[in-house]
Structure 1
Amino acid sequence: MRFLSALATASIASIAVATDNTNSPKVIPVSFGRSTNRQPALHRRAGTYSQELNNNLTGGGYYAQVTVGTPPQTVDLVVDTGSSDVWILDSRANLCRSKTMQNYYGYCLSTYDPSKSSTYSIVSQDEFSIRYVDGSGAEGDYIRDTFSIGGADIKKLQMGLAENSTINSGLLGIGFAANVASRTPYPNIMSLFEDQDLIAIQAYSLYLDDLYAETGTILFGGLDTQKFIGKLKIVDIEPDRTGNYSSFTVPLSSLTTTADNGTITNYTRSTVSVILDSGTTLTYVPYTMANRIFRAFGAVDDTSGTGLVYINCEHLDNKNFTFDFQFGGNDGPIIQVPIDEMVLDNVKQYIELGLDVPSLPFDNVCSFGLQGSSDYYLLGDTFLRSAYVVYDLTNKKIGLAQANLNSTESKIVEITKSGIPDASGVASQVIATQTAGSGNSSSGTSSDTPGSETSEGASSRVVPAPSWEVLVMVSMASLSGLMGAGLVML
């Protein structure tokens, strides 16, 4: 049983701020924005260069538009911090030719034709094979070709070329090279960013913005002090069981909630190692923790049936209620996730499209952006939209701060060989008003004064009801695919 959510083709503009001047900062800004195009496809799941990302509201995917080959072919890829391979769909892939598969997995969003590229070369036939925790995957050849993102040209990047796939778009895996799917290790995109002197070290920052934002940004080689609040605090990345670094695992020391009246409830009994994974839609914590939260909120766990946890939409009336995630101990960073990022008003639309919701003790039905797990503990997009995250692969560090949502200003700082800088963002949250589907329009101001370590106003934004224009089709089966294809099965 699976959930198949609608995917939309990205409409993306990349902005390059790096120049050929060797003295200029090496930062590659890549923007992403939510598409408003209707797309009948179904999708299973979920210097500084800047790349724009496309926010797929219903499925949680964030898409970067890149080019591959010579002459360049445009391809839209899911940005995934939970895996390490870049792979693209072959124009002759089974999914792209089979109507039966398309009815189940969705139409291919964008593909690559190796016969049309003069710089294409094959590395190894039939050796690319990748599987994700939601059961989806792809297989084919490993190839090399020119890869361009955010104005940066990466020469001879090794990529998977999927000839067989149950995913209708490729992925941009930007994790540790040690986590590539190949049996033979190879330098992945983050390695080549550094090796080809495009960025100083293997580091980038991720700003997803809020659930209804049109745009967000990933900065390869830099960070933006206008996109976060207060002090950027550093947490060590934890090694895996073999002592290697293969995922962005950090210690979650506490998960509490803060109610409108200031009441704080702690749901953590011990530190939990969690993975920061942009390729995962929801947030997954241990069952024991999740069940305590479900009881407190009167939520109904139907993940074994429809794949959703149901919760009363009335919780959205608690405008200042937050879920507070603290990392690395009592002095570590705290990220406050507003109630409207965790309680998702999407079930009514699913019902209209045929979802058979079980009998529930409440009529105003929403879905919960947090679920229990026994295998992987993942902080996906329902968490990451509230955080500004800096990933330093070279020094094995993560920088975290409260995201300054709906920010329209930018002040980019290069991440040099010394690692994540001691940086402070704005003093408080921008107060912004949005019209769903029309982009961001700030109706307030944010202080440019750095140094404040408060995260006041984490939920002090005016956000309307979601626009469901991008919600196209949902299968009448399970919604288990919300986990997303982000984390690779080892």
Structure 2
Amino acid sequence: MLSLPLALLVALPALCASEPVHIPLIRRHGGRAKTTADHLRNAEFVRMRYGYSSGSPASSLTNTSSTSKRLDRRASAQSLNIVNQNGDSSYFGSVSIGTPPQAFHVILDTGSSDLWVVDTNCVTCDPTSPAFNSQNSSSFQVLDSTATTISYGSGQVQGFVAQDDVTMGNFTMSAQGFLTAEVTSRGLLQGSVSGLMGLAFAAIASTKTRPFWQNLISSNQLEAPEMSFWLSRFLGTTKEEQPGGSFILGGTNTSLYSGTLEFQSLISNIPGPASFWLLGLSGKPFRIVLTAATPLIMTMTGITVQGQAIKVATGANALSAIDTGTTLIGGPTTDVAAVWAAVPGAVKSVQNLGYYEYPCSTSVSISMAFGGQLWPIDPADMNLGPGSKKGMCVGSIFDLTAGSAISPGPGTPTWVVGDTFLKNVYTVFRSSPAAVGFAQLSAAAGGGSGTPGAGPAGTGSSSSGSTSNTGMHTVQSRSLSLSLMVFGVVVYLL
């Protein structure tokens, strides 16, 4: 991954904070069922994203000669709808860039930190994706004429780091840093999507610019230093785009969740500044429950599989990234094998490296606890569809480190918790005090199929406290540390 030093962003006067802004999300569907090749790419993309590439070929930059030559040269909080793309595989919202503003759909990704959109000079981009025309913006400025590359699990983009006015909802940042992409890996974007907005921290930004959301906080435009997500579920549909849920800048929407928000502080003993939204696995073991009864969520106290608890790696080498830009859940080899060993008939997939297959007739329900309650995952989200053998289905928890000889370094996640889990909870990302919070979805948001249960005995309560909210905006105050604690997973077979 290449990065360039940039000029400092133009300082802005502090603004007065106002109400949260609601940004609609949209989901886009590819119009076909996922294939074995799709599953392989999904896993490899996530491995590359977090530094565990197995060396399998992934989408790389396609750089034509013509492209190569070009590259050598306080206001408010708002809730915005988002779009659900490719059968719950990605979610995007709308931004405007430039003067006058040019509108684009961008994937909202808490697993990266750069903002980028395709440029009109891009010859490798999907021709149906709207492109940014810098010549039509009077406020556009190139910060560095040297090409910068941003690498993702699903490919790469390359272009110039620039700055311009960027607007999302009612929020505008002047001189916001971003990348105008002139080369992209083929297939990186589809349809109306033109780029990506990273919602992690500035430390991992390839452009060396501060993310849009952090600039909003520093310029006092958000009522609260937080953003929240409700992600919709549209499995099995053939429609390319569906309503994707809601992204709220500067607060929460209490109509989308019930009960209390359970916050956990981010771990503070990781070297360097904050990077990803990280969770650290605690010393409590994963425990699996097999039952033919109703899907009650049970505590993990004294519950085992055939008398044996399933232990997982812990400590600084077992961090988990909470990532809206990842579709599935990836984990370390031993722990993922232990989870699927509790499912009768589950076997390693022959065709999909790192995946497991299980009898399609089995309904697998997994619940994850983050320091307090158990949060159930809908069995539909655990099923990726037909496997390599008749009657077998591919599971949504895969081996993140399969085929890789790379050991995790300090601060490197070994678990990646994506939309398979996040569709089942209301999620709040808070920068100060740094924490992530979860709550049960309300009936209006599609909740009610599963009820959170008590967490494992002895784990204690949320380190940031649980609160009941009465308005659009909620402020929590506790720890300044940088990572959550995942205390366990419970699996039910129905």
Coarse TM-score class (shorter-chain normalised): 0.5 to 0.7
CA contact 2:286–2:312 (8 Å) conserved in 1: no
Give deviations 1:296-328, integer Å, cap 9, x for gaps: 323333376477543322123xxxx53111123
SS for the counterpart of 2:252 is: strand
Identify the match of residue 19 of structure 2 among 23, 26, 30.
26
Judged with a 3 Å threshold, the aligned counterparts in structure 2 of structure 1 residues 123 and 33 are, in CA distance, closer, same or farther, namely same
Q: Does 1:326 align with 2:369?
A: yes
Q: How far 1:24 moved relative to its partner?
A: 7.1
Q: Does 1:160 align with 2:179?
A: yes
Identify the match of residue 143 of structure 2 among 98, 123, 127.
123
Q: How far 1:52 moved relative to its partner?
A: 1.4
Give deviations 1:44-68, integer Å, cap 9, x for gaps: 7572112211111436110112221
Judged with a 3 Å threshold, the aligned counterparts in structure 2 of structure 1 residues 233 and 178 are, in CA distance, closer, same or farther, namely same
Q: Which residue of 2 aligns with 1:146?
A: 165
Q: Which residue of 1 aligns with 2:429?
A: 391
Q: How far 1:414 moved relative to its partner?
A: 1.8
Give deviations 1:359-410, integer Å, cap 9, x for gaps: x3xx223221110122531001101111211111232111122233642899
Q: How far 1:135 moved relative to its partner?
A: 5.4
Q: Which residue of 1 aligns with 2:225?
A: 202
Identify the match of residue 203 of structure 2 among 168, 178, 186.
178
Judged with a 3 Å threshold, the aligned counterparts in structure 2 of structure 1 residues 326 and 364 are, in CA distance, closer, same or farther, namely same
CA contact 1:211–1:341 (8 Å) conserved in 2: no
Give deviations 1:108-144, integer Å, cap 9, x for gaps: 5332111111221111123432112x25111111111
CA contact 2:77–2:224 (8 Å) conserved in 1: no
CA contact 1:385–1:403 (8 Å) conserved in 2: no
* Equivalent runs, 1:430-469 vs 2, <5 Å: none
Judged with a 3 Å threshold, the aligned counterparts in structure 2 of structure 1 residues 59 and 415 are, in CA distance, closer, same or farther, namely closer
CA contact 1:211–1:385 (8 Å) conserved in 2: no
Q: Which amino acid aligns with 1:180?
A: A
SS for the counterpart of 1:34 is: strand
SS for the counterpart of 2:377 is: strand
Q: Which residue of 2 aligns with 1:414?
A: 473
Q: How far 1:222 moved relative to its partner?
A: 0.4
State the alpha-carbon separation in 1 of the partners of residues 396 and 437 from structure 2. Answer: 23
Q: Which residue of 2 aligns with 1:114?
A: 134
CA contact 1:277–1:380 (8 Å) conserved in 2: yes
CA contact 2:28–2:90 (8 Å) conserved in 1: no
CA contact 2:97–2:103 (8 Å) conserved in 1: yes
CA contact 1:95–1:108 (8 Å) conserved in 2: no
Aligned residues: 368
What TM-score results when the alignment is normalised by the length of structure 1?
0.67
Identify the match of residue 300 of structure 1 among 335, 347, 369.
347
The answer for unaligned runs of 5 or more in structure 2 is 1-14, 46-75, 236-241, 402-407, 409-413, 448-468, 480-491
Q: Which residue of 2 aligns with 1:274?
A: 320
Q: How far 1:255 moved relative to its partner?
A: 4.3
Q: How far 1:190 moved relative to its partner?
A: 1.7
Q: Which amino acid aligns with 1:364?
A: G
SS for the counterpart of 2:472 is: strand
* Equivalent runs, 1:214-233 vs 2, <5 Å: 214-233=243-262
Q: Does 1:92 align with 2:142?
A: no
Q: How far 1:196 moved relative to its partner?
A: 3.0
Give % identity. Answer: 22
Q: How far 1:160 moved relative to its partner?
A: 1.1
State the alpha-carbon separation in 2 of the partners of residues 305 and 37 from structure 1. Answer: 20
SS for the counterpart of 2:217 is: helix
CA contact 1:392–1:419 (8 Å) conserved in 2: no
Q: Which residue of 2 aligns with 1:453?
A: none
CA contact 2:114–2:209 (8 Å) conserved in 1: no
Give deviations 1:272-315, integer Å, cap 9, x for gaps: 42110011111011111111222332333337647754332212
Greater Cα shift, 397-406 or 297-306? 297-306
Q: Which amino acid aligns with 1:193?
A: L
CA contact 2:27–2:87 (8 Å) conserved in 1: no
State the alpha-carbon separation in 2 of the partners of residues 241 and 279 from structure 1. Answer: 23
Q: Which residue of 1 aligns with 2:64?
A: none
CA contact 1:177–1:190 (8 Å) conserved in 2: no
* Equivalent runs, 1:251-400 vs 2, <5 Å: 251-253=280-282, 255-258=286-289, 259-261=291-293, 265=305, 267-271=310-314, 272-297=318-343, 298-302=345-349, 305=352, 308-316=355-363, 322-328=365-371, 332-345=372-385, 347=386, 358=388, 360=389, 363-374=390-401, 376-400=414-438
State the alpha-carbon separation in 1 of the partners of residues 82 and 310 from structure 2. Answer: 33
Q: How far 1:80 moved relative to its partner?
A: 0.1
Judged with a 3 Å threshold, the aligned counterparts in structure 2 of structure 1 residues 239 and 86 are, in CA distance, closer, same or farther, namely farther
Q: Which amino acid aligns with 1:67?
A: S
Q: How far 1:37 moved relative to its partner?
A: 8.9
State the alpha-carbon separation in 1 of the partners of residues 203 and 16 from structure 2. Answer: 31
State the alpha-carbon separation in 1 of the partners of residues 417 and 319 from structure 2. Answer: 10
SS for the counterpart of 1:223 is: coil
Q: Which residue of 1 aligns with 2:156?
A: 137
SS for the counterpart of 2:334 is: helix
Judged with a 3 Å threshold, the aligned counterparts in structure 2 of structure 1 residues 407 and 135 are, in CA distance, closer, same or farther, namely closer
State the alpha-carbon separation in 2 of the partners of residues 242 and 280 from structure 1. Answer: 24
Give deviations 1:328-349, integer Å, cap 9, x for gaps: 3xxx24211121111233x3xx
State the alpha-carbon separation in 2 of the partners of residues 241 and 90 from structure 1. Answer: 37
Judged with a 3 Å threshold, the aligned counterparts in structure 2 of structure 1 residues 250 and 164 are, in CA distance, closer, same or farther, namely same
Q: How far 1:199 moved relative to its partner?
A: 0.2
CA contact 2:88–2:234 (8 Å) conserved in 1: no
What TM-score results when the alignment is normalised by the length of structure 2?
0.66
Give deviations 1:239-293, integer Å, cap 9, x for gaps: 5742421111112445445545268555443444211001111101111111122
SS for the counterpart of 2:255 is: coil
